[in-house]
């Protein structure tokens, strides 16, 4: 096949232009809805995120014009975040860095304010392919999650095997953090899935399993909604650092959080977590949003 046959020259009526990026291998298919206003159906999202029939991604992101309220508060753009099951969620740390980098390249600036479902996030370029984001504030308010009933979020009553005495924290999305002695001995899917699906969390919860290596170093793996072990989780890293300090396991306010694909820097200032880490491009292209018919004849 000649390269021309496989290289799209222009977007056809049913296709949409995307860029795929990753932050520590947490990978995203990103669409700019400021340019192409068409929305995505749940089926589109599920298929686009599935590498076998679409592009492949941990989430689908759209860049949008800020809302009136966001604009008034100074937002430069807005981001919407969809999980691989098509459900919209309100926060993702690695996605925020990727979208902020795209927008900073567009403006040539060094700072911007990004509106998300979880609030307005201040982002800044912190190196050639590095972005820092003020991700907080972090809270333990049970009504945010929501929880099926009021419980002490600092001592979660939901346990499974080695995951005991967890902390529930909100950073635009819900997390349950459990400290263990050795992360290497944990079968993440096996121990975290029953907690994610526990009736206390009617909308599910991202489950972080953390090992405090020393006062400033955490090893972390996150079983994200809707049931995937990602290579990195930015919001998870922020709440793990916050939980370690809240629990009195350390007095530090600067952390290196090691995730399966690499490290994020987390700085805590009061309830605010500043997350710093890398971004990278994967590819650009067009993806079809019509129902696809396969002919194997």
Count residues near ligand API (CB under 6 A): 14
- Following DSSP, what letter does each residue of 97-148 receive, concatenated? HHHHHHHHHHH--SEEEEEETTEEEEEEEEETTEEEEE----B--GGGTT-S
Q: Which is nearer to ligand API, 24 or 104 (CB)?
A: 24
Q: Which helix (H) or strand (E) holds 190?
A: helix 188-196
Binding-residue pattern over the window 69 to 88 for ligand API, x denoting contact by CB under 6 A: --------------x-----
Q: Which of 212, 224, 273, 279 binds ligand API (CB under 6 A)?
A: 224
Q: How far is the CB of 278 from ligand API (least distance, A)?
A: 12
Cβ atoms < 10 Å from Cβ of 235: 31
- Cα–Cα distance, 39 to 124 (Å, whole number): 28
Is residue 196 a contact point for ligand API (CB under 6 A)? no
Binding part of the chain for ligand API, among 42-50, 138-146, 148-156, 226-234 by CB under 6 A, reads 226-234
Q: Which of 62, 231, 235, 276 binds ligand API (CB under 6 A)?
A: 235
**Is the C-alpha dihedral spanning 74, 266, 204, 158 positive or negative?**
negative
CA angle 176, 180, 181 (to 5 degrees): 165
Q: Which of 32, 46, 70, 94 binds ligand API (CB under 6 A)?
A: 94
Q: How far is the CB of 75 from ligand API (least distance, A)?
A: 19
Query: What are the binding residues for substrate?
Result: 26, 59, 83, 93-94, 173, 206, 224-225, 234-235
* Cα 142 → chain centroid: 21
Q: What tokens does 139 get?
A: 């809270």
> Which residues are annotated as catalytic?
92, 233
CB distance 183 to 209 below 8 Å = yes
Measure CA of the first residue to CA of the last residue in the chain; give whole Å: 19
- Cα–Cα distance, 196 to 115 (Å, whole number): 27
Under rule CB under 6 A, which residues in 1-40 are in contact with ligand API? 26
Is residue 206 a contact point for ligand API (CB under 6 A)? yes
Q: Which is nearer to ligand API, 17 or 56 (CB)?
A: 56
Is residue 277 a contact point for ligand API (CB under 6 A)? no
Residues that bind ligand API (CB under 6 A): 26, 83, 89, 92-94, 173, 206, 224-225, 230, 233-235
């Amino acid at each position: 096949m000649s390269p021309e046959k496989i290289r799209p020259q222009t977007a056809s009526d049913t296709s949409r232009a995307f860029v795929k990026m990753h932050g520590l291998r947490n990978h995203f298919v990103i669409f700019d809805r400021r340019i192409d206003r068409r929305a995505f159906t749940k089926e589109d999202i599920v298929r686009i995120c599935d590498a076998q029939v679409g592009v492949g991604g941990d989430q689908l992101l759209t860049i949008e014009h800020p809302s009136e309220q966001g604009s008034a508060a100074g937002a430069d753009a807005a981001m919407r975040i969809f999980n691989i099951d098509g459900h919209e969620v309100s926060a993702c740390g690695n996605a925020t860095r990727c979208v902020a980098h795209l927008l900073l390249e567009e403006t040539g600036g060094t700072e911007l304010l990004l509106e998300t479902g979880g609030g307005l996030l201040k982002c800044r370029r912190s190196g050639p392919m590095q972005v820092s984001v003020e991700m907080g504030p972090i809270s333990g308010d049970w009504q945010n999650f929501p929880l099926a009933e009021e419980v002490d979020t600092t001592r979660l009553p939901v346990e499974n095997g080695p995951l005991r005495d967890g902390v529930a924290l909100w950073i635009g999305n819900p997390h349950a953090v459990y400290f263990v002695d050795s992360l290497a001995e944990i079968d993440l899917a096996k121990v975290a899935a029953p907690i994610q699906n526990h009736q206390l969390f009617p909308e599910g919860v991202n489950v972080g399993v953390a090992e405090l290596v020393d006062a400033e170093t955490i090893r972390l793996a996150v079983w994200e909604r809707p049931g995937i072990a990602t290579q990195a989780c930015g919001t998870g890293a922020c709440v793990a650092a916050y939980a370690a300090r809240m629990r009195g396991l350390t007095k530090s306010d600067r952390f290196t959080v090691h995730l399966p694909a690499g490290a994020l820097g987390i700085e805590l200032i009061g309830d605010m977590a500043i997350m710093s880490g890398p971004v990278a491009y994967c590819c650009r292209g067009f993806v079809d949003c019509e129902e696809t018919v396969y002919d194997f004849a």
